[in-house]
Amino acid sequence: MRYLKEIYRFIRHLFQSRTLIFALIKNDFKKQYLGSYLGLAWAFIQPMMFMLVIWGVFELGFRAGNTASGVPFVVWLLAGMVPWLFFSDAIRAGADAVTSNAFLVKKVAFRVGILPLVNIGSSILIHLGLVFFLLVVLLSHGFMPSVYWLQLPFYMLLTVLFTVGLSWTTSAIRVFIKDVASIIAVFLQMGFWLTPIFWSPDLVPQKYQYLIKLNPAYYIVTGYRDSFVSQVWFWEKPMWSAYYLTITILALLLGALIFKRLRPHFGDVL
């Protein structure tokens, strides 16, 4: 109960500090591309070029055509890649939140707990641009706007909450153990292939499918596909929605506990 109260106070602090947070997100976003000729455009060019290459490979090279459900493969593919890029980028950015903002950590009056949200905020800006690109692809393939698209904020919010909780843990530990960044990179590389982005979960025998669904990224990826392609509401999958909400809450509680315990020692190491 004590940690729930702390999370409530933290959320209230976020609302009160929203102007500062938006300013930090803007500065962090600009800082990543400062000095390059194309500037902020690189934030969208890099992931979009990656998706265009995949589009070309499967649409022209392998001629994948349609999926078993009749959906164009490129639509199905991009609907899974866009949330994965958001999920993975948010985890990477969140893990660097403390070490990349050491000058703020040493300020006595600054609440360091907002730093993961600031770094993740930069990923949200890029994600919104990629979602717009996805919508263009959907419209070009005859997918008209649907009420199911309104689920997008729900899945985005869940992704942010889960990655914030995870980032409190990873960013705090990374101050003391530099290998955390490399460990995260390995897990994300494995997660990319273990999440049904390029392949359909129907390929896995029914009795083993629950193992795939334990992956948090699975819920987000399939949620985006349910919203844009399959037209399925999140409450039509109550068990897995409850599972993801549970691990999100656990990630927030555990992350808050670890971050609070390690926070007093950040200044000594940084």
| pLDDT tens string 82-91 | 999 999 989 9
- Domain tally, the chain: 1
Residue with tokens 């990873």: 170
pTM: 0.83
Length of the chain in residues, anyone? 270
Beta carbons of 162 and 255 less than 8 angstroms apart: no
247 falls in which pLDDT band (50, 70, 90)?
Answer: very high
Residue 220: pLDDT over 90: yes
Confidence of residue 76 (pLDDT cuts 50, 70, 90): confident
As a whole-number percent, the residues of the chain with pLDDT over 70 amount to 76
Structure tokens at 38: 């194309």
Q: Assess contact for 84 and 221: CB atoms under 8 A.
A: yes
Contact 102, 53 (CB under 8 A): no
What residue numbers bound the domain in which 260 lies?
Answer: 2-269
- Round to whole Å and give the CA distance between 54 and 216: 24
**Is residue 66 scored above 60 in pLDDT?**
no
- How far is 259 from 253, CA to CA, in rounded Å? 10
Contact 226, 232 (CB under 8 A): yes
Q: Residue 249 gets which letter from DSSP?
A: H
